[in-house]
């Protein structure tokens, strides 16, 4: 069993030095730097008032537990070359990942990273590998915090960070063509600030799109196809519309791809959600897809109070029942896949003799995810 402690997974490891047993990373402390507190004259009353205000703030939901992932490629006969990439989580503002362990047997395996900052486990079985040996298991501990909406302050004069600029760029399924730009202008007509525009887009997506359970996986997020047809889909479709219209309005926006940690068997619980960048505040969460899922599940109308409550909550807030596995679209994995760029990397990805498997269908290469919540 290989162990990779958090904060030390070395990205970009060279394919030519694939390890037969993986590598054990060195643990690096990630403790926040301590702050020095001092008691000053005249601060007692102010401190008391501040403490009262903080006590009145809603308590964040926090979920901790262990995620296990198993991938089984034994169904393919001997003589096949099989390559596997599995997205691995990493620390972010609202999630802490520790104790990543994996077992790929004696075959070649390595932890690597891509240009988006994603990390992944790469495993390769050559033509001589016994089918029974093509099994991989992964385990990691995770702590996820609820995202609570910050005070939404906008500073037009603030410079846009370099890190946010790439989230203004188009991708294959999120183009910035005339059709998308025209729709963005229509939706944001009369709005002057980025905050007003983002909220108008969020409300429009909820009012005009619907969740469709017949869509495979999380959907493809093909924005032009959605605008041309039924305006329905799953989370990637719905949140891609939000992201594309934000970008077409000059607002950086992105999606996180991950999995819900809301049950024991979470194999089919993949999810994606969105964020937009607001100068003066930073990244702000938005998940219109979860609003529309609640509408369908509960048979609500979009005008009733329960829907409006969900709509207000998922504007800036996110529940803790989710973890990020990857970011970005049109992805080139590391080492590079033989097929075309990946639309997203929320699922394990595999190729058999250079041919992509359908990663929306676990039957093609059996995989499972499970979650065991930490005892409270």
R_g of the chain, CA atoms, integer Å = 22
- pLDDT for 156 equals 87
Is 50 within a domain?
A: no
248 and 194 within one domain: yes
126 and 168 within one domain: no
The full DSSP string for 90-136 is --BTTEEEEEEEEE-TTSEEEEEE-TTS-EEEEEEE-TTS-GGG-EE
- pLDDT for 180 equals 98
Is 36 within a domain?
A: no
268 and 171 within one domain: yes
Last residue of a domain, one of 319, 340, 364: 319
Is 42 within a domain?
A: no
DSSP state of 322: E
137 and 84 within one domain: yes
214 and 124 within one domain: no
- pLDDT for 37 equals 31
279 and 140 within one domain: no
315 and 335 within one domain: no
pTM score of the predicted model: 0.86
Name the burial class of residue 101, with classes exposed (0-12), middle (13-18) and buried (19+) by CB atoms within 10 angstroms of its CB: middle
Is 117 within a domain?
A: yes
Using one digit for the tens of pLDDT, what is the confidence trace for 219-241? 999 999 999 999 999 999 999 99
- pLDDT for 29 equals 32
- pLDDT for 34 equals 34
Is 34 within a domain?
A: no
The C-alpha atoms of residue 122 and residue 18 are separated, in whole angstroms, by 9
- pLDDT for 121 equals 98
346 and 314 within one domain: no
138 and 82 within one domain: yes
Residue 286's CATH number: 3.10.620.30
Last residue of a domain, one of 276, 293, 319: 319
* Paired tokens of 4: 């990779």
The answer to whether 122 and 12 are in contact (CB under 8 A) is no
For each successive 10 residues of the chain (376 residues), what is the average pLDDT?
49 38 34 31 38 61 98 95 97 96 96 96 98 97 98 93 96 98 98 98 98 96 97 98 98 98 96 98 98 98 98 98 98 96 96 91 82 87
Using one digit for the tens of pLDDT, what is the confidence trace for 30-83? 333 333 233 222 333 333 344 444 446 678 999 999 999 999 999 999 999 999
* Paired tokens of 231: 């305006």
- pLDDT for 38 equals 31
249 and 182 within one domain: yes
Is 11 within a domain?
A: yes
The parent domain of residue 112 ranges over 2-26+61-145+331-373
268 and 195 within one domain: yes
The C-alpha atoms of residue 322 and residue 65 are separated, in whole angstroms, by 12
- pLDDT for 376 equals 56
Count structural domains, the chain. 2
Is 222 within a domain?
A: yes
The C-alpha atoms of residue 321 and residue 94 are separated, in whole angstroms, by 11
Measured in degrees and rounded to the nearest 5, phi and psi for residue 333 equal -75, 175
> What's the chain's length in residues?
376
H-run or E-run covering 324: strand 322-327
122 and 200 within one domain: no
Is 44 within a domain?
A: no
């Amino acid at each position: 069993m290989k162990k990779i402690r958090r904060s030390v997974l070395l990205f970009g490891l060279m394919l030519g030095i694939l390890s037969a047993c993986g590598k054990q990373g060195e643990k690096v402390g990630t403790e926040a730097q301590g702050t020095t507190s001092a008691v000053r004259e005249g601060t007692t009353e102010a401190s008391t008032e501040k403490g009262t205000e903080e006590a009145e703030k809603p308590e964040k939901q926090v979920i901790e537990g262990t995620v296990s992932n198993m991938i089984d490629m034994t169904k393919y006969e001997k003589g096949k070359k099989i390559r596997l990439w599995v997205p691995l989580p990493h620390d972010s503002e609202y999630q802490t990942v520790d104790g990543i362990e994996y077992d790929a047997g004696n075959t070649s395996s390595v932890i690597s990273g891509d240009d988006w900052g994603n990390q992944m486990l790469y495993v390769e079985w050559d033509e001589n590998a016994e089918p029974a040996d093509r099994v991989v298991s992964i385990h990691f501990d995770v702590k996820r915090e609820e995202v609570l909406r910050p005070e939404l302050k906008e500073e037009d004069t603030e410079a846009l960070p370099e890190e946010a600029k790439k989230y203004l760029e188009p991708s294959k399924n999120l183009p910035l063509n005339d059709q998308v730009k025209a729709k963005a202008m229509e939706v944001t007509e009369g709005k002057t600030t980025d905050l007003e525009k983002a909220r108008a887009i969020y409300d429009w997506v909820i009012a005009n799109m619907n969740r469709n359970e017949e869509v495979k996986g999380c959907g493809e997020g093909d924005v032009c196809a959605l605008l041309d047809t039924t305006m329905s889909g799953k989370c990637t479709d719905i949140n891609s519309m939000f992201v594309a219209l934000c970008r077409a309005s000059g607002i950086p926006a992105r999606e996180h791809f991950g999995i819900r940690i809301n049950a024991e068997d979470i194999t089919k619980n993949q999810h994606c959600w969105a964020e937009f960048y607001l100068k003066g505040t930073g990244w702000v969460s938005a998940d219109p897809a979860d609003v529309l899922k609640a509408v369908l599940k509960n048979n609500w109308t979009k005008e009733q109070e329960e829907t409006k409550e969900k709509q207000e909550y998922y504007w800036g807030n996110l529940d803790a029942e989710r973890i990020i596995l990857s970011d970005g679209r049109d992805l080139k994995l590391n080492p590079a896949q033989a097929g075309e760029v990946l639309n997203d990397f929320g699922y394990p990805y595999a190729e058999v003799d250079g041919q992509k498997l359908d990663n929306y269908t676990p039957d093609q290469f059996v995989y499972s995810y499970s979650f065991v919540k930490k005892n409270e």
